[in-house]
Structure 1
Amino acid sequence: MNLADWIAGGDTVRVNGHRLFLRRDGEGVPVTLVHGFPTSSHDWAPAVPALVAAGCEVTTLDLLGFGESDKPPRHRYSIHEQADLVEAVWQHLAVGETSLVAHDYGVSVAQELLARDPRRITRAAFLNGGLYADLHRPILLQRLLHSPVGPLLARLADEKKFTAGLRSVLARPVPDELLHDMWTSMARGNGHHLAPRLLRYIDDRRVHFHRWTSALEHYEGPLLFVWGPEDPVSGAHVLDRLRRRRPDAAFTVLDGVGHYPQVEAPERTAEALAAFLTG
């Protein structure tokens, strides 16, 4: 599903003073999907049909500063606020218990939600992300955007630079149309200028390392990791620790896949998630 069709099938809701884009697809087992940086909920488009077919009611949203949601230019973005907004969306939609699936930036949002109320999360699945701050290896462009020169670099960004950076974390080719949709989603409303502010999540991870690590390692519900080991940011080196710290979890390791399992290996990722989420 292309970006335009994805947006057309969604709606907006105003929560906590911000307008957020969201979609609800299917009926059955409640599932919430949380996307990563710097893209949007559209990353999940390849997986949603399989989850719906398996009997899931899927909630997806664009976090604040991403995609079709509000992008306040001088806002101080934080993982804690993003978790507040997810909870506000749940309240708005009358979602009680739910499974939770998260990728990249979204894994930190999910860890904060687990720290707050693990009993609400019936199952948790994680795709490549910085679950351990000390193992996170941001690419050079991210490090520069997170530095004092970040605001200037963000204003000089264009689709060509964005695509080159994204391809550096992929291990498999993906269609040019998909990368264009990712850029379009990020750049809407000059969203690409927000990268230095959104990248403060790197600092959040360091500050809240023990809280979020504990939330992951002490979560008692069913747990799945769908992982691309060829990811230079959060790949095999993170997977090794996860196997040691959570040997009771289920693992789906996608050989030859990088940072975006849901777009590099959409069928296998969707199959693994559907089987896990429906028990």
Structure 2
Amino acid sequence: MPLAEIPLRAWRKRSRSFEFRGHTIRYWVAGQGEPLLLIHGFPTASWDWHYLWQPLAHRNLVIACDMLGFGDSAKPLDHGYCLLEQADLQQALLKHLGVEQPVHVLAHDYGDSVAQELLARHHEGRFQMASCVFLNGGLFPETHRPALVQKLLLSPLGWMIGRAFGRNALSNSFSQIFGPQTRPSESALDDFWSLISANDGTRILHKLIAYVPQRRALRDRWVAAMQVGDVPLRVIDGEVDPISGAHMVERYHQLVPHADTVLLTNIGHYPQIEAPVQVLKHYLTFRAHIARATVWEGACSR
């Protein structure tokens, strides 16, 4: 059975805001239970999670924000965007909401890098992570195959490319990274474009893309954090994604002990949009396994 869509207009009406270092951040909260932090990817926003939002809120306190520079949050032009600051933002949001217990994390794309930093901070005693699931993202710089528009944004002419980037360019880009049978509708593309272009967002695309070299600089720190093994991890990955598909999962198995991965056949870079029912199924299975293991460990410790 397909999952219900939350129209973008309704999604926006549910948003709240808080101030982070002088910038207005839009965020969403629903449900109750263990906290679950959803972290979106580039170049879109938290609406990416709308199919999963209500099912996950049935059993979790679900939290998401449009990160600085994304969606309906502030997009300052004179700002150096940094993955470490985006991790600071996630922690500031949790503090704003009074969340003190360990947090489950479900992340995608750019959000995977933010989640990797939070995992590293967990091992340093600066964050409490209960579990983490990664959807298609550049977990390893050596396997990341940037799309053409990303390469252009990284070039010296990136500022011009960003300002010239339009709805048709977005459609062309997404047609290459979504699965062949699961490409977004024209209506969905309109909504994605509305979020990207909000607050003159195309002016800063060339600044947001700085995450690619930042990933390279932080690669060893983040891979080491994934190799520790005390936080349950899973990868749910669209197999045919040309950016971070099956080739990334193969590398994950080489580097991460006891790798827990799921490959979704014929699904591309946005599995939570392309195959939300499958993603929900595999995510809930992962969480159920964690719960059973926790009960078993508790019984054995008595």
TM-score range, shorter chain: over 0.9
Q: Distance in 2 between matches of 1:100 and 1:256?
A: 25
Superposed CA deviations along residues 105-144 of structure 1, whole A, max 9, x for unmatched, are: 0111111111112461101100000000111110111101
Identity of aligned residues (%): 36
Structure 2: stretches of 5+ with no match in the other structure = 1-5, 292-302
Greater relative contact order, per chain length (Cα 8 Å cut-off, separation 6+): 1
Q: Distance in 2 between matches of 1:263 and 1:60?
A: 16
SS at the partner of 1:46? Answer: helix
Partner of 2:183: 173
Partner of 1:134: 142
Superposed CA deviations along residues 181-207 of structure 1, whole A, max 9, x for unmatched, are: 111001001102211100000010111
Q: Distance in 1 between matches of 2:286 and 2:23?
A: 33
Does the CA-based 8 Å contact 2:238-2:246 persist in structure 1?
Answer: yes
Bigger CA radius of gyration: 2
Q: Distance in 2 between matches of 1:47 and 1:250?
A: 21
Superposed CA deviations along residues 66-102 of structure 1, whole A, max 9, x for unmatched, are: 0011100121000011011111111111112110111
Match of 2:241 among 231, 237, 244: 231
Partner of 2:39: 34
Q: Over the residues paired in the alignment, what is the CA RMSD in angstroms?
A: 1.3
Number of equivalences: 278
Deviation at 1:25, TM superposition (A): 1.0
Match of 1:114 among 95, 119, 132: 119
Structure 1: stretches of 5+ with no match in the other structure = none
Partner of 2:84: 80
Q: TM-score, normalised by structure 1?
A: 0.96
Q: TM-score, normalised by structure 2?
A: 0.89
Superposed CA deviations along residues 29-57 of structure 1, whole A, max 9, x for unmatched, are: 2100000000000000111112123x111
SS at the partner of 1:76? Answer: coil
Match of 2:212 among 171, 180, 202: 202
Which residue identity lines up with residue 137 of structure 2 in the other structure? G
Partner of 1:143: 151
SS at the partner of 1:221? Answer: coil
Deviation at 1:219, TM superposition (A): 4.0
Q: Distance in 2 between matches of 1:196 and 1:217?
A: 32
Deviation at 1:247, TM superposition (A): 4.7
Ranges of 4+ aligned residues in structure 1 off by more than 3 Å? none
Does the CA-based 8 Å contact 1:21-1:69 persist in structure 2?
Answer: yes
